[in-house]
Structure 1
Amino acid sequence: MVFRTTSGPVRGGGCVDGVTAVLGVPYAAAPFGARRFREPQPAPAWDEVRDCTAFGPIAPQSARLPGAPVWRPGDEDVLTVNVWAPERAEEGGLPVFFWLHGGAHTFGSSAQPDFDGTALARAGLVVVSCNFRVGFEGFGHVPGFPDNRGLLDQVAALRWVRENIAAFGGDPGNVTVAGHSSGGGSVACLMVMPRARALFRRAVAHSVPSLHHTVELAAAVTERIAAVAGVAPIAEGLLSAPPEALVAAADKVAAQCASDPVAAIHAFSPVLFQPVIDGEVLPADPLRALAAGTAADVDLLVCHAVEEAWFLHTVGAVREVTTEPELADLAEALDLPAHLLDGYRASMPDAPVLDRYLAILGAAQFGEYTTRLAEHHARAGGRAHLARFARRRDAARPWHTADIPFAFGNLDAVGADFLIGGTPDGHDRALSHRMLRSWADFAATGDPGWPALTTDATPVKSWAVPADHLTDDDRGGLRALWRDVGFGPLRPAH
């Protein structure tokens, strides 16, 4: 089947399981050469039917993820979208679910197997995912060029959806933007970005990171990377360095952060790239902006895992902390009050320091910030729903990323067994069905199936096996220890 886009006609693969996948459609021009470090530019048009049966090249990065393509120097046409359209899409007017991948703003792509949109499309959605610039190309500070280029790419992809999705049976007036981890952070940023206004109606954000950079810190990161790459930290010097040189230099700087952090938190979690609060593309921290009612007209669904940081510990993405002095160092780096550490010690009296450390780090980096986004949005007049991923089975923990194969309905995807802790059983498949249905219902109607937050209460849905449960109000316990802890953009350590 041929679909007509504003750039030209495209043809996807055949209809499989009632869904047609159209992959690797350019939504913007290749962001290299004269367009490098600039805002995304329109994609060149074509006249002949374009074969779109394979994912496009991914953005510059060093990651090699299970079942996903790798980036190779010379791959340039990295700004593409993928669409999964169900058979009934010919009738038109279907809700649109727009997915943003995670990866610490540094790696990842829309081609990861657990992001396949077939199951969600069978549930009645037109599903869209996209590649965008990550790492230095997308989030590195370059004097004289816009910050947050990865976010600008996402806005360009959303504009493509507005202009083209009707051709695939989707309703451009009913778009839900969704993402996990740094993709969830991107969703929160898009909610408060002036350039993204009116491009979507609802938002789904899983495991939203709490970290953002000031321009000062982003410039300090650039200085470190430029020094390792052997170029001046100015536009001319950075433009002279090929993408692979900046990828390699960023990897080296991240590896050095344990002993010489650029910002205090980098000694524990060396993620060099974050959205930059530049006052223009991203005017303010999303938490503060949502509290001010900036996106009160956007319905919001957030979720985080109960033991987020255990995944990061298992894959070696965070520093090992096993002693009380090291835990005190973390508290200093995050500016956490002494009573918070005391409270976790009292709540987990028999737990090793490592367990308390990971509980605190997971809450600081994902859990508390994600929950507050929903609370602040609700208090400002927006509609918000909150969920937690609490599924345990044998040794499988409810950790960072484990929820995504469930919500996508991709429990059998390549690499999913590691994320979910083994081969799925019947209870897992039932949970996956429930989570996928909640996404589909929220995208269609704004109601995922449980109560929204109010100004006085924080109801939370806990996804679990063999059955879920609902807590009427979730503002006590360990959460109460975070009440006086603030979140704000990071600044240089020195």
Structure 2
Amino acid sequence: MSIENETAPEVGTTAGRVRGLQRVGSAAFLGIPFAEPPVGDLRFAAPVPHRAWSGVRDAVEYGATPQRAALAEVTLIPEPSIAGESTLNVNVFTPAPGDEDARLPVLVYIHGGGFVAGSPASPWYDGAAFNRDGVVTVSVSYRLGFDGFGWVEDAPNNRAILDWMLALTWVQDNIGRFGGDPGRVTIAGQSAGGGAVLTLLAVPAAAHLFHQVLCISGATSDLPLDQAEEFGRRLAALGGVEPTRAGLSPLDESTILGLQAAVASPLPEPGGDADPLAPLVALASGGLTWGPVVDGELLPEPVADAFARGVGSGKQLVLGATDNEFNMVIAAQEEALAAVPAAGILTRFGLPDETATAYADAHPGRTTADVLGQYVTDRMFRVTALTIATERARNAAPTWLYRFAWPSPTIGGACHCLDMPFLFDCLGSERVGNIAGPNPPQSLADEVHGAAVAFITTGDPGWTPFDEAAQSARVFDVPSRTEEHGYADVEVLLPAGAAA
């Protein structure tokens, strides 16, 4: 596609010039490749910087998206799938294209999707509102699922982390030409993307690539290397190939998607009845099958352990979660579980009897299904946020904790992804009404988006930093407020002595 409009903005990059789209008050440069296509010999290799091109490359359409998994069809966020091989791209939204003196703060956003799905091409991730408020915005694509995280005998581990790091290197080398300041880069992400930015904060080799972190509903992986190897060997065996680059490379994308799903969700025993709670128990207790691997090298130790030792302590962090992230996933079992005591089922998740009883008692008047959904929410997201904030309060730069508590009028509760159109201030975007109803409060978007802008531009989101005594958290609601011990309801799930 060629753009003949002489007003179309052009910017030079280290690989060549790109031509973007001029919009009202900003410009968009879409699908700029930061790496060679990860195909052929590069499929399971570390990413390679994209070769230089001659002339001017059009950057007016989103690039190809990695692994089109089934999750992309049911996600609450519209995340289009785009065919093609060149899947390692960045999208840059800027109010100051070509102005190297602008030195505007930069937001680099990593999408979620359980590390197996998602897309940076979502209209919700458009940087228009951040551009309006003086922030250059970059969204990133990366290898997903087995291609990004699966163990391969003769391939580097954590290829997706290497993708994130190369994209951030591209930002360091190029963002000044788009009006951004490479010395003021905030990385942000939601769900698996939140886990990605926490992981990057724990990766010593990535420390020079960004300056502060905004983690939204972050779910970490911390997959042990031996378990990653087990999953990788199992996938290769199911595919009838050796667990090597040569053996796995001939398997096309659809085949890999099927195999990685089979490894993640083994079929029930022949003649047995499918247990509707089994996937939730496995997810909350065992974590994700495909995600960042504690390989002892790039990621030397689990994220929480790294923070406890002070890794990343010099970088400021905002993190939090919605109040009811995954409660909705068990809503269909409401009637079937109505007569079953919640405490008894909670022991299936590995909780001791006393803790299970205490947790159930802490949620009086709620149905068993809702208590179980809340437990999955707390175990995966809210305990992670409180634990990290507590660890960092002892030896790190300021950390701010928040909760998003406004309930969805269509789904119920403050569910997973509900906060995203408020963060990006895009309440009029497609499908927002499905999750936020026909009249989502603009005042709440002003607060959530405004806090993010304040953090990105000044290093302070506008409420009291977390400390072990007060444990303050900002509660985004109508109206919003700041609460001491804002995560007190999950303290029963922490190890003894972990919280003040």
TM-score, reference length from structure 1:
0.90
Give deviations 1:295-341, integer Å, cap 9, x for gaps.
1111100020100112444699xxx97675886465344x3232221
| Aligned equivalent of 1:430, options 443, 450, 458 | 443
Which residue in the other structure is 1:492 paired with?
A: none
- Please give the residue correspondences for 1:130-145 in structure 2 after superposition, counting only pairs within 5 Å: 130-145=140-155
| 1:412 equivalent among 411, 428, 432 | 428
Structure-1 separation of matches of 2:399 and 2:375? 25
| Residue segments in structure 2 that go unaligned for 5+ positions in a row | 1-8
Counterpart Cα distance in 1 of 2:497 and 2:330: 24
- Counterpart of 1:196 (choices 206, 210, 214) is 206
Q: Is the 8 A contact 1:327 1:357 kept in 2?
A: no
Partner of 2:48: 41
- 1:223-262 correspondence to structure 2 within 5 Å: 223-256=233-266
Q: Which residue of 2 aligns with 1:490?
A: none
Equivalence for 1:356: 371
User: What 5-or-longer segments of structure 1 have no aligned partner?
Assistant: 488-494
- CA shift, 1:377, in A, is 1.5
Alignment RMSD (CA, Å): 2.6
CA positional deviation for 1:239: 2.3
Tell me whether 1:287 sits opposite 2:304 in the alignment: yes
Q: Answer yes or no: is the 8 Å Cα contact 1:257–1:267 preserved in 2.
A: no
Q: 1:414 to 1:393 in 2, by over 3 A?
A: closer
Residue 87 of structure 1 deviates from its aligned partner by 4.1
Residues 1:79 and 2:88 aligned together:
yes
1:398 pairs with 2:410: no
Residues 147 and 88 of structure 1, relative CA distance in 2, 3 Å threshold: closer
Among residues 9, 19, 31, which one is paired with 1:11 in the alignment? 19
CA distance in 1, matches of 2:268, 2:473: 36
CA contact (8 A) 2:96 2:102 kept: no
Any idea what SS the aligned residue of 1:308 has?
Answer: coil
Rounded to whole Å, the distance in 1 between the matches of 2:340 and 2:40 is 51
- Aligned counterparts, 1:311-390, within 5 A: 311-313=328-330, 324=340, 328=344, 330-333=346-349, 335-390=350-405
Distance 1:127 1:367, change over 3 A: same
2:178 maps to 168
Query: Which among 323, 326, 336 is matched to residue 306 of structure 1?
Result: 323
Contact residue 408 and residue 435 of structure 2 kept, 8 A: no
Q: CA deviation at 1:269?
A: 8.1
Question: 1:62–1:71: 8 Å Cα contact kept in structure 2?
Answer: no
CA contact under 8 A between 1:258 and 1:266: conserved in structure 2?
no
Instruction: State the number of aligned residues.
Output: 475
Q: How many angstroms does 1:276 deviate by?
A: 0.7
- Residue 449 of structure 1 aligns with an amino acid whose one-letter code is G
Bigger relative contact order (CA 8 A; separation at least 6): 1
Equivalent residue in structure 1 for 2:494, among 476, 483, 492: 483
Matching of residue 449 in structure 1 with residue 467 in structure 2: no
Q: Does structure 1 conserve the Cα–Cα contact (< 8 Å) formed by 2:405 and 2:414?
A: yes
Deviations 1:101-155 (A, max 9, x none): 0000000110012111111111110000110000111011111211111111000
Native 8 Å contact 2:327 2:376 kept in 1? no
**Length-normalised TM-score, structure 2:** 0.89
Percentage of pairs with the same residue: 31
Q: 2:471 aligns with which of 458, 463, 486?
A: 458
Q: Which moved more, 1:253-262 or 1:224-233?
A: 253-262
